[in-house]
Every structure is written in C-alpha cells, then in structure tokens.
Amino acid sequence: MTELLKKYLVIKWWIPLLFFGISFIFFITGIILPNTDFGFNLFAFSFLILLISSIWQIIKGKKKTGFALLSIAITPILALGSMVYLFAGTMNKPDGELALDRIEPLIKEKTDLIIPKGFEVLKNLIEHTEGAFDSDYSIGLIIEYKESDEQNIVEQILKSAEMESDKGSWKKYESGFDFEYNYNEINRAELFYFKVDTLNNKMELNLSHL
C-alpha cells in the first residue's frame, strides 16, 4: 500500500498536481458537502501531497519539476492569505465615535481654531467607508458652543483670515464661516469640510480619511 501511494502520489508528479487542482476547485466552490470542512481538509491534504512530491522531485534531481510544483502549491496559499488580509482590513472598522478628548485637537489640527471648552456634542459618528479594502473611514461631527464663547471664536477666525496658511482659508457667509482647505500634501489624505454657524452657535466637521 505504501509503495502504491508512493508511486502514484509522489513519483508521478502530474497526479498530485491534478489532485491539488481538483481539490482547490472543491474548496473554493464548496460543491461537495457544503457547510462542512470537507473542502478545506481535502485541499490541505492535497497541498501536503503536492509539497511532498515537489521535495521528492528535487531530491531525485528533477529540480525544475520540483520547483515548478512547489511554486504551484504556494501560489494559491499566498492568494488566499492576501484575501484574508484584505477581508480583515474591511472588518477593522474604527470606533463608532470620536473620543471627546480628540475633538478639540482635531479641529485645531485642521483649521488652527481653538474651540472653547464646555461645548455640547450633537453628532459624533465614525463610519467605515463602504466598499473600501482598508481602514478608510469618515467622521461626521456637530458640536454646539456657548453663546458667550462666540466672540472669542469669531475673533480667532478673523485674525486667521488675515494670515496665510497652508491648511486653508476662512470664507465669510451670512450664516457664519466656512473653512476651505487647500488641496495639498497636508490635507490630501484627509479631505474635510468645516463650518461655523454663528446663527445657531454650531460647528460642523465632515472628514474623509483616504
């Protein structure tokens, strides 16, 4: 029995190769005994046989055949590993909310605006970008500041509007101010929209991390 297996599963290299190809198809499609581990176990066994056959060919001096079989055996494993990695990336979603101690630093980082403490968070949402294969996400944030803090906020904006900045510039509108970012190296990875609504004492940030 051992000699028979050795002859047909090791020495005749095309048989392990054929077995490996068929088991790979069964594993991917799941056409035999679906919802079980049969396809995976069969594929794992065929991989082991093909690996042994490739090593046997190399030992017997048939290095080209051996290394070719070894390459064929490894290729789908690497492909499956890449798929698992990408899938894991899509599942690695950021937290559902931006930490409160990150709100002030984030706004300052993007606009140089220092927001007064004591604000109220009306909306705080982090969502994974649909269809993305990595950790792309978007932030939706709305906060309400105190009426007594508006003068400080407006003074900062007007002062900043007089100065040149690589981050962007402030634009005055009837309802308040918009910060229009510069599309450069600083902002390219995180495009955002920031608005200060002085009529309703609100700030809104929408950011997309690419």
Predicted confidence (pLDDT) per residue in 129-151, tens digit: 665 555 678 899 999 999 999 99
Listed in order, strand segments (DSSP E) in the chain are 120-128, 137-144, 168-173, 176-181, 190-197, 202-209
Residue 130 class from Cβ within 10 Å (0-12 exposed, 13-18 middle, 19+ buried)?
A: exposed
Q: Higher pLDDT residue, 208 or 89?
A: 208
Query: How high is the mean pLDDT of the chain?
Result: 83
Name the most confidently modeled range: 82-86, 136-140, 149-153, 186-190: 149-153
d(CA 107, CA 145) in angstroms, rounded, equals 14
d(CA 116, CA 111) in angstroms, rounded, equals 14
The domain limits of the chain are 2-91, 100-209
Taking a C-beta distance cutoff of 8 angstroms, is the pair 145, 115 a contact?
Answer: yes
pTM: 0.54
